[in-house]
Amino acid sequence: MAVEDMSYRPLLSAYELMEDPYGGFGRVREETAVARGLWNGSPTWFITRYDDVSAVLMDRRFATNSQSLPGGTDVYAEVMAKMGVSEKLIPYLAGSLVYTDPPDHTRLRKLVLRAFSARRVSALRSRVEAIVDGLLDALPGHAEDGVVDLVEHFASPLPITVICEMVGVPGEDLDTWRAWSLDYTSMDAHRLNTMLTEISAYIHDLAERRQTEPADDLITGLIRAHDEDSDRLTDTELVTMVLTLMVAANETTPALIGNGALALLTHPDQLALLRADPGLLPGAVQELLRWCGPAIVAKLRYATEDVTVAGTLIRQGDQVQVVPGAANHDPRRFPRPGELDITRNPEADRAPHLAYSRGAHYCLGAGLANQETEVAFARLFARYPDLRLACPMDSLRWKPLPVTRQLQELPVRLETAP
Ligand code: HEM
């Protein structure tokens, strides 16, 4: 597709992109099954209807790394280089699991799959509960004039604390990791370069220590695989994997907890149902993922051969953007899609939303994110029965990231004023 072809334009207005991505992509979904437009300046096919999004995510003919195309180069690495990320540090970002295709993807994913099994996640539950309780205890201390930011003091610190413990980062280094995670989301080349240099040295150091002092943590598991497996992890892959997990955990779960808390606080009927029957919580979390899940779009896909989607020919090499955020509101799949209904998924395990993607790149941390969010909401609403929003809805600001829906802050009052 040629960029100079003037029929390619951004599909969403700047307002829709930032303030109303579900509505904006929903409009596109109802206009046409496969739309074409510009995305980050490049010609792109947009797929927004549930069945088509699901089919593309399951289809191995679509790759997530443009290098998998015949004669392809790594577009993501090129974008990072243009941004000013140092050449030697780019592999730590570009080698992430989600930008890897088979056979490397299959090998790398296998190495971490066990750490995120249902059994491992459920064994972590009591630690997650203790971390949540600690954060809730501290909330009143962060309040100014009775108002506290739930994003900064609850939604954000929870997932980074949990993933650091899983990886094996000692507690005293947690603040450093929190600062690195902010550097990552800054998208500022200087901060990224410094963070990547420091974090790779830290992970090498920690891995060295675990050689002599193994522990029951992910880094020990990864260096064992590193030493014993015939498909060993390279040093760069080890750093990349730990960084991927930190970033993946940190970009998304805080957003779900923030968006979900806002949704429940502004739908008091749904919150009342949940308070009356805490057994609804697993299904409620799945409904929140469908209704206000943070991943509006999946990672870009590239057609490795000509593929027809919903009657449209997508040519080898074309760039495709699937939009789970639109598919999750598709009336062809969900009756009353705009309605938040926490009783929609009586069997939460079978919730059909695409908020965690589908197919080969299905979210590795889905079980962990579900558990963190369930524990967070169970304890938050029990502990602060009078919790309420402390500002008008239209004064809330969203982070300027077109790929994730995430609140900048969520000011709440913990108690009713005496
Ligand atoms: C609410 C929280 C979360 C959401 C909504 C979410 C969403 C997603 C989505 C949509 C993808 C696939 C993207 C694609 O197909 O293009 C993905 C992949 C991934 N997620 Fe999550 N995620 C969440 C939490 C987590 C957590 C807590 C972790 C780990 C600690 C994690 C680790 C990963 C990894 C490693 C991948 C790449 C998997 C692969 O490529 O094989 N995620 N996630």
15, burial (CB in 10 Å: exposed 0-12, middle 13-18, buried 19+): exposed
Helix axis angle, 366-383 to 235-265, nearest 10°: 40
- Residue 3 pLDDT grade (very low, low, confident, very high; cuts 50, 70, 90): very low
Q: In the chain, pLDDT over 90 holds for what percent of residues? A: 80
For residue 69, the model assigns a pLDDT of 96
Q: Which two tokens stand for residue 73?
A: 């180069």
16-54 exposure pattern, b = at least 16 Cβ within 10 A, e = fewer: bbbebbbebbbbbbeeebbbbbebeeebbbbbbbbebbb
| Atom number in ligand 1 closest to CA 373 | 1
Give the CA angle between residues 25, 30, 35 to the nearest 5°: 65
d(CA 111, CA 400): 34
At 150, is the secondary structure helix, strand, or coil? helix
Top mutation candidate among 364, 372, 406 for ligand 1, by most atoms within 8 Å of CB: 364
Maximum CA pair distance of the chain? 69
What's phi and psi for 412, nearest 5 deg?
-135, 155
Centre of ligand 1 to C-alpha 117, Å, is 14
Higher pLDDT, 155 or 401: 155
Q: Which two tokens stand for residue 414?
A: 């913990």
Give the CA angle between residues 225, 226, 227 to the nearest 5°: 90
Which tens digit of pLDDT belongs to each residue from 96-110? 999 999 999 998 999
For residue 416, the model assigns a pLDDT of 67
For residue 312, the model assigns a pLDDT of 97
CA distance to 52, 81, 281, 398, per residue, from 59 (Å): 10, 30, 32, 33
If you ran DSSP here, which 8-state letter would residue 151 be given?
A: I
Helix axis angle, 235-265 to 268-276, nearest 10°: 100
| Atom number in ligand 1 closest to CA 298 | 16
Protein residue with least CA distance to atom 20, ligand 1: 363
For residue 6, the model assigns a pLDDT of 47
Instruction: Give the residue extent of every domain in the chain.
Output: 14-413
Protein residue with least CA distance to atom 34, ligand 1: 364
User: Are 38 and 45 a contacting pair, CB within 8 Å?
Assistant: no
- Residue 346 pLDDT grade (very low, low, confident, very high; cuts 50, 70, 90): confident
User: Are 243 and 92 a contacting pair, CB within 8 Å?
Assistant: yes
For residue 181, the model assigns a pLDDT of 85
Q: What mean pLDDT, rounded, does the chain reach?
A: 92
Number of neighbours of residue 333 by Cβ within 10 angstroms: 18
Higher pLDDT, 82 or 417: 82
369-396: average pLDDT = 96
Which tens digit of pLDDT belongs to each residue from 312-329? 999 999 999 999 999 999
Q: In the chain, pLDDT over 70 holds for what percent of residues? A: 96
Number of neighbours of residue 56 by Cβ within 10 angstroms: 25
Q: Is the pLDDT of residue 93 over 70?
A: yes
For residue 226, the model assigns a pLDDT of 67
Given its phi and psi angles, is residue 82 left (phi above 0), alpha (psi -120 to 50 degrees) or beta?
A: alpha
Spell out the residues 6+ positions from residue 82 whose beta carbon is closer than 8 angstroms to its own.
Answer: none
Q: What is the pTM of this model?
A: 0.95
CA within 13 Å, CB half, 334: 23
Using the Cα atoms of residue 50, residue 53, residue 58 and residue 61 in order, give the sign of their dihedral: positive
- Residue matched to tokens 């080349």: 189
User: Are 162 and 126 a contacting pair, CB within 8 Å?
Assistant: no
Protein residue with least CA distance to atom 38, ligand 1: 361
d(CA 294, CA 273): 23
Which tens digit of pLDDT belongs to each residue from 16-73? 888 889 999 999 999 999 999 998 889 999 999 999 999 999 999 999 999 999 999 9
For residue 7, the model assigns a pLDDT of 61
d(CA 371, CA 284): 12
Protein residue with least CA distance to atom 23, ligand 1: 252
CA 415 vs. chain centroid, Å, equals 31
Number of neighbours of residue 417 by Cβ within 10 angstroms: 6
d(CA 126, CA 132): 10
If you ran DSSP here, which 8-state letter would residue 117 be given?
A: S
If you ran DSSP here, which 8-state letter would residue 331 be given?
A: T
For residue 282, the model assigns a pLDDT of 97
Q: Give the H or E element holding residue 345.
A: none
Give the CATH H-level superfamily of domain 14-413.
Cytochrome P450 (1.10.630.10)
Q: Is the pLDDT of residue 4 over 50?
A: no
User: Are 254 and 155 a contacting pair, CB within 8 Å?
Assistant: yes
CA distance to 17, 70, 328, 349, per residue, from 51 (Å): 23, 28, 10, 19
CA 10 vs. chain centroid, Å, equals 24
DSSP sequence for 283-307? HHHHHHHHHH-SBSS---EEESS-E
Which tens digit of pLDDT belongs to each residue from 186-244? 878 999 999 999 999 999 999 999 999 999 999 998 888 766 666 678 889 999 999 99
Q: Which residues line ligand 1 (CB under 6 A)?
A: 97-98, 109, 159, 163, 244-245, 248-249, 252-253, 256, 293-295, 298-299, 355-357, 361, 363-365, 368-369
Among 217-221, 356-360, 363-367, name the one with the lowest average pLDDT. 217-221
Top mutation candidate among 47, 181, 356 for ligand 1, by most atoms within 8 Å of CB: 356
Q: Is the pLDDT of residue 269 over 60?
A: yes
CA within 13 Å, CB half, 182: 9
At 49, is the secondary structure helix, strand, or coil? coil
